[in-house]
Chains A and B, each alone.
Chain A
Amino acid sequence: MSFFIFLLPIFLYAESVSTNLTDPVMIETYRDVTTNIRCICLPSLPIKSCSFNNCVVSAELKLFIENRIRMGESSEVIIQKMINGFGESAIDDPIVQKFKVQGSLNMVNGVVYGFGEKILAEPSPIGINLTIFLVGIFGLLLIFYYFKKNSARPNRVSPENRNQSKKYLQELD
């Protein structure tokens, strides 16, 4: 029973986040997007956990995301466009202009033409969770099988063996 608590967070897991946006709906959208997009410099972190100190480029990308939210785009649209691209019109955004001036052409191209699936922070965990689930069930079955085996067995240690071992350990002590 206790094992199934592991399944809960697959559906319910969430983290808090702070943003410069003030509208609650926009904040929710921002949280959704930054949870699902990874940090550019540190792929192991979602972009919302990636600080300016760790990755300037990600911090600027978050500002770009805020701009798109202010334009009225939903989280699903922004995430899809992160994968597939926002198009040439995105070059007008001041953040993209900044990337251009700084020479970060990879970032400009990523925004315009898309970063691909690798920009996603959380790949689908179905495969890995299923593996763990199956192994967990197997482990529980083993414990259950062990429990269901015949009751108390006779003492298997012979007096001779015990004396030899005790002598060995006494010498060590």
Chain B
Amino acid sequence: MNTFGSFCIIISVALLLFSLLQTIYGIAKKDSNAIELGRTTLMANAMVILLAFITLMTQLTRMDLSNYYVVMHSGEHLPIFYRITSIWSGSSGSLLFWNLLLNIFSFYVLYETRKLYSDRLPILNLVLGILAIFFSFLAVYFPDAQPFREFQPKAVVGRGLNPLLQHWAMIIHPPILYIGYVSFAIPFGVAMSALVTGSLSSDWLKQIRKWTLFSWFFLGVGILLGSKWAYEELGWGGYWAWDPVENASLMPWLLASAFIHSIIIEERRGMLKFWNMFLIILTFHFTLLGTWITRSGVLEGPHSFSKSTIGTPFIIFIIISFFIYIGILLYKKDKLQPERNLEALTSKEGSFFLNNFILVLACLVILLGVFSPLLYGKEFKSPWYNSWGVPAGILLLLLMGASPLLAWRKGADSIFFSTLAKPLLFGIISAFMYSILYSQFFTRSDYSISDTLGEVYSVLTIGLGAFTIAGIFQEFHRGILARREQFSGESYIGAGIQLLMKNKRRYGGYLVHFSMVLIFVGYAGNAFKENTSFRFFYTLSEPKGDEIVYRSQDKAFLGNYTIEAGNLRILPMINGEEQSEPNLFNVIVTQRAAYKIQRNQNHLEEMVTERRFYPQISHLSGGFETHIPTSEPAIHSSPKEDFYIQLGAIESGGDALENPDLSLMFMDYYFGSKNFLDKVNQARKFPTQIVANLEVWINPLVKLIWLGSVMFFLSGLYILLPIGTSRG
């Protein structure tokens, strides 16, 4: 099957080369037959890549150990579901997936335009064809992009999927992100076809807008899913670490956000034509850059992958492509003159200018931060990113609130009392109330030091968030009143629904803004985050069947929380089918600790947190290599705050200074005991006393982030789906 898969990729390169040559010939000689042949060949490539993808998926599900990718990313014990999703867990599989998505989207667009006669379409073919051939080229000539490399001689077993990826959010997060990344090739292609052919009336924006919203939506959802995964799975109490891979997805999303807003200006006022073209070129190349950052291994981070052979050709392609398109843009700049000028800086147009400025500057900040080891010889971390990110977020929140209320062409002073005053007043009152009440609202430890600047930022966030929400309600209210004047039979709610249905773009956009406010307010809770670690002392008890049990009666206190340690059990978990016979490959050694949590001396919950040790099996010998630890935090979530605990390392409680390797000892106990006496002897080898570390976080307002995320998803979906009517 490796041969067949490789053959598919080689055929893809040949097909695409043929397509490009035919298209170029057709453009040069104005030969419509050649252009059509070029297009159908490009469409056929989608089938070839799909075949290659199905081949790899078949190999993964069947555990074809002659394939290098299968050996390194899948395992016999894995449930079938994880074997399928491991197709995007590694470099070459995910690049094949990228290629597949690109071809599917290209096929769709080329099919959609099949009966049109326009000089733009061959250029669109060319742009998409060049992109597709690059990915197929990588898959043929560079080992780290080759999904059908032979593993000779055949491996004994598969190494299995990284246990961190065995989580529901990690299943859907990569494909959603990739859909966001890849689909941006379509609006980019359409824009470049308009630019190259000089057909630059503002109407081309309408088609691009749908695709841009589509990409922006999927990127945003992918980023939020990644945060959710990090929070639930990594056990470090946070959801965003400004990791290079995280930043790689955020940068194009910021630029896409800028573009979504600035095309409104071009549509309504005929301004920013040159800037919009520049922005779309920039955004698309940042999606490529994001893929490069994730796959090249040039920049190390906790999530990054090992250094890859595709790094150099990929960055060369990005640089050459970027400068070529910028060159075309500069050549065509005379055709992109604005129709009107900016008449007032505090007008709606002015606020969009500022919005673009902040979003693009924020992207630049992140870009410089990501490349800081290469550019400045130093690595900048979360505090530095936050020092720029938090004020940028606050300014964006201000613009989110103000922009919808401002008028076209007129300054804010002309509409202050009629439109801005009430929401502003509401925001100021909310900020004032919050500043009085927050010190009693949030849980504080006796020994923590307050974060003055963080508290100031949280007050600003609450005030501006309230201002934005009040503005949204005001807009809806005014729209409903206007509608009821026309349709007097409609109820208030009915009129509101009709408003939403008839003008999705505007009022759906307000819903998205609302979701962003919730998310930002959730972020503001970080100013009151508490984190500490406790050590609990345990004593060995009689083993229970296959479990080793330790008991404790220790207590700890944090703010108004009491944490009472109970049992700490070491037990086996079967990875894969529950009925499977336990063996070295499928047994996960689990350290499971239970804690009774009280708040204000009332019982809250018994929380159970774990550390799991997944077996890493050698693919060469089939023997046990080592354990890969993962975290399973326990989270008690309430609207006010999350109480988050994670079991940490376990140390010996006696005089011994070294940490016992309990997971390895358990393997001997579980697999090495032939009879009851063996079991008892093995159990006696465990330390009679241990000290377990427990990390505790109190994360205020996190629930708002997830609520805002769900709302972002629903409102974005509503805007994208063909329900209701969109008016420009």
Contact = CB atoms under 8 A, between A and B. Distances in A.
B6 interface: no
A117 to B, nearest CB: 9
B573 interface: no
Interface in A1-38: 2, 5-6, 8-10, 12-22, 27-28, 31, 35, 38
A171 B345 contact: no
Nearest to A39: B381
Contacts of A155: 270, 339
Interface in B77-115: 112-113, 115
Contacts of B721: none
A171 to B, nearest CB: 5
B391 A8 contact: yes
A157 B350 CA distance: 23
A53 B236 contact: yes
A161 to B, nearest CB: 5
A172 B357 contact: no
A51 B449 contact: no
Interface string A30-60: 0100010010001111100101111010010
B118 interface: yes
B390 A9 contact: yes
Interface string B353-374: 1100100110011001100100
A149 B364 contact: no
Contacts of B201: 157, 161-162, 164-165
Interface stretch (B163-171, B525-533, B592-600, B668-676): B525-533
A146 B392 contact: no
B236 A51 contact: yes
Interface string B34-57: 000000000000000000000000
Interface stretch (B288-296, B617-625, B643-651): B643-651
Contacts of B242: 44
The number of chain B residues touching the other chain, given as a range, is: 35 or more
A43 B379 contact: yes
B388 to A, nearest CB: 6
A28 B649 CA distance: 27
Interface in A129-144: 131-132, 135-136, 139-140, 143
B453 A12 contact: yes
B33 interface: no
Most buried by A among B113, B375, B447, B695: B447
Nearest to A10: B387
Interface in A37-86: 38, 42-46, 49, 51-54, 56, 59
A157 B339 contact: yes
B381 A16 contact: no
B357 A139 contact: yes
Given A153-B341, A168-B118, A172-B113, A59 B533 contact: yes
A20 B365 CA distance: 36
B383 A132 contact: no
Given A16-B529, A53-B695, A172 B648 contact: no
Contact of A45 (B112, B241, B649): B241
B445 A14 contact: no
Contacts of B341: 146-147, 149-153
A136 B362 CA distance: 10
B269 to A, nearest CB: 10
Interface stretch (B23-31, B202-210, B219-227): B202-210
B179 interface: no
A48 B381 CA distance: 13
Most buried by B among A18, A59, A123, A162: A18
B361 A16 contact: no
A35 B345 CA distance: 41
Contacts of B360: 139
A119 interface: no
A43 B373 CA distance: 12
Nearest to A155: B339
A171 B112 CA distance: 10
Contacts of A124: 378
A56 B659 CA distance: 10
A102 B392 contact: no
Contacts of B380: 122-123, 125, 128
B155 to A, nearest CB: 30
Contact of B338 (A6, A153, A162, A172): A153
A138 to B, nearest CB: 10
A173 B395 CA distance: 38
B613 to A, nearest CB: 13
Interface in B283-306: 301-302
A51 B646 contact: yes
Interface string B195-238: 00001011110110000000000000000000000000001111
Interface string A99-132: 0011000000000000000000111110110011
Most buried by B among A51, A128, A172: A51
B660 to A, nearest CB: 12
B395 A2 contact: yes
A122 B384 contact: yes
A162 B383 CA distance: 51
A18 B115 contact: no
Interface string B619-651: 000000000000100000000000000111100
B701 to A, nearest CB: 15
A59 B648 contact: yes
Interface in B654-712: 657-659, 693, 695
A59 B535 CA distance: 12
Given A102-B657, A165-B204, A59 B693 contact: yes
Given A52-B648, A53-B648, A171-B115, 9 more contacts: A12-B453, A15-B451, A18-B447, A18-B532, A18-B558, A49-B238, A53-B235, A132-B368, A172-B116
22 contacts: A2-B398, A5-B394, A13-B453, A14-B452, A16-B528, A16-B530, A18-B447, A31-B449, A45-B381, A45-B382, A53-B235, A53-B611, A59-B648, A102-B659, A123-B379, A125-B384, A128-B380, A147-B345, A149-B341, A152-B341, A157-B270, A164-B199
Interface of B: 112-113, 115-116, 118, 120, 199, 201-204, 206-207, 235-238, 241-243, 270, 301-302, 337-343, 345, 350, 353-354, 357, 360-361, 364-365, 368-369, 372, 375-376, 378-384, 386-388, 390-392, 394-395, 398, 445, 447-454, 527-533, 558, 611, 631, 646-649, 657-659, 693, 695
Interface of A: 2, 5-6, 8-10, 12-22, 27-28, 31, 35, 38, 42-46, 49, 51-54, 56, 59, 97-98, 101-102, 121-125, 127-128, 131-132, 135-136, 139-140, 143, 146-147, 149-157, 161-162, 164-166, 168-169, 171-172
Q: Which 7 A-B pairs have the closest CB atoms?
A: A123-B378, A52-B648, A18-B532, A9-B387, A165-B203, A165-B201, A101-B657
